[in-house]
Homo-oligomer: A and B are copies of this chain.
Amino acid sequence: MMTEEQMEVLRQQIAAYAIISDQLVQMHKAFSAQHTHSGMRQGSLYYDPWIASSGQKMNIRQRWSPTTEQLQILERIFEEDNGTPNNQRLKEITTELAQHGKISDSNVYNWFQNRRARLRRKQSVPEPQKPESETGKEVQSLKEKKMRPESTLSYENSAQRSKTIHLQQSPEISTEMLRLNSRSNEANPHFRQILI
């Protein structure tokens, strides 16, 4: 297992990489923004058909996807608040995120819902330390799904620690990297539905 110290290091490392890649994506977006005209780019990276001339077309993309900024903010809030936002809070968050792209509160709601659920799922499997010693011992029956080891969390509260990493990364990154792909390329978080 790891020491708390090592954990901390890992966290920092992640944060560092996260920031870097985020900047990368930012650059990508900036770059693509100033090139929306020239040449055809056969819808690969991001096609933006939603600005379709015919009024309000914007279809095709049906599922919301957070922009990088939004994701960042969401993650931050998730850590800070460390819990389910109530309606009030939810709307605040939505409002804030709306500045960075189209979004609705149900998106935010779902996001938190999923975020929590998946975190829980991951951490709810205390894996035995010796992988191959014997297979039979792995009892671990959580079958009593009624009982959720809610109190067993450790990841979250350790993450609550200050995340100030203060790093500034290299400003000079070529435009080449802009081709870097990632989900975050979805500079266009378009959605369609509203639900409720």
Q: How many copies, total?
A: 2
- Our pick among B27, B39, B87, B140 for the contact of A179 (Cβ within 8 Å) is B27
A20-B24, A169-B176 known; A105 vs B125 contact (CB < 8 Å)? yes
Nearest B residue to A12 via CB reads B184
Interface size on A, residues (CB 8 A): 100
**Is A135 part of the binding interface, using a Cβ–Cβ cutoff of 8 Å?**
yes
**Is A30 part of the binding interface, using a Cβ–Cβ cutoff of 8 Å?**
yes
**Is A150 part of the binding interface, using a Cβ–Cβ cutoff of 8 Å?**
no
A17 touches B23 (CB 8 A): no
**Is A9 part of the binding interface, using a Cβ–Cβ cutoff of 8 Å?**
yes
Which residues of chain B are within 8 angstroms of A145 by Cβ–Cβ distance? 62, 86-87
A5 touches B44 (CB 8 A): no
